Amino acid sequence: MTVRGLLLPLALCALSAGCASGSGSDNSAAAVRTMTVTIASKNGAHPFQVEQAKTADEQERGLMFRMEIPVNGGMMFWPYPPDGPPREASFWMKNTPSALDIIFIRADGTIAHIAANAVPFDETPLSSGEPVGAVLEIKGGRAAALGIAEGDKVNWAK
């Protein structure tokens, strides 16, 4: 998927960054940083072990070319954007063959919006609708299956 910040002049890849082996990029698996992200919903705590996309380059690549997304895996775009304060975000699925749930997270850690089951390869922009400080991409349909909703709290080591 590709990330495009509405206020950024460059189109960046979203719902995905820093690619591991088999991703179609030249990044090595050794360079991939992971972190635990936990979402507290009415159904309990849901931990995800995700890759980190902190730099503009990592955020540009995102999860592009990934054929499989682990059930409790994904990618965290944090801070978003990497070069400034929270702002409205827009992602697309260009070159992304796997459906994703794109979770837009406010600076206070609450979920602002979920773009559920983003369609593979679709270039239609999916907007946060308001300024966000992070974006989490997980396997498509996973948020609904776990009862994750707007307003739920997302926690990670900052």
Position 65 scores a pLDDT of 64
Residues of the chain with pLDDT under 50: 1-30
Position 81 scores a pLDDT of 78
**Neighbour-count burial for 23-49, b at 16+ CB within 10 Å, e otherwise:** beeebeeeebeeeebebebeeeebebe
Q: Which domain holds residue 126?
A: 2-156
Total structural domains within the chain: 1
Structure tokens at 28: 């090595």
SS3 31: helix
Provide the CATH number for the domain around residue 65. 2.60.120.1140
Q: Which residues contact 84 (CB under 8 A, 6 or more apart)?
A: none
Is the preceding peptide bond at 86 cis, omega within 30 degrees of 0? no
Q: Is the alpha carbon torsion for 118, 156, 29, 128 positive or negative?
A: positive
Position 35 scores a pLDDT of 93
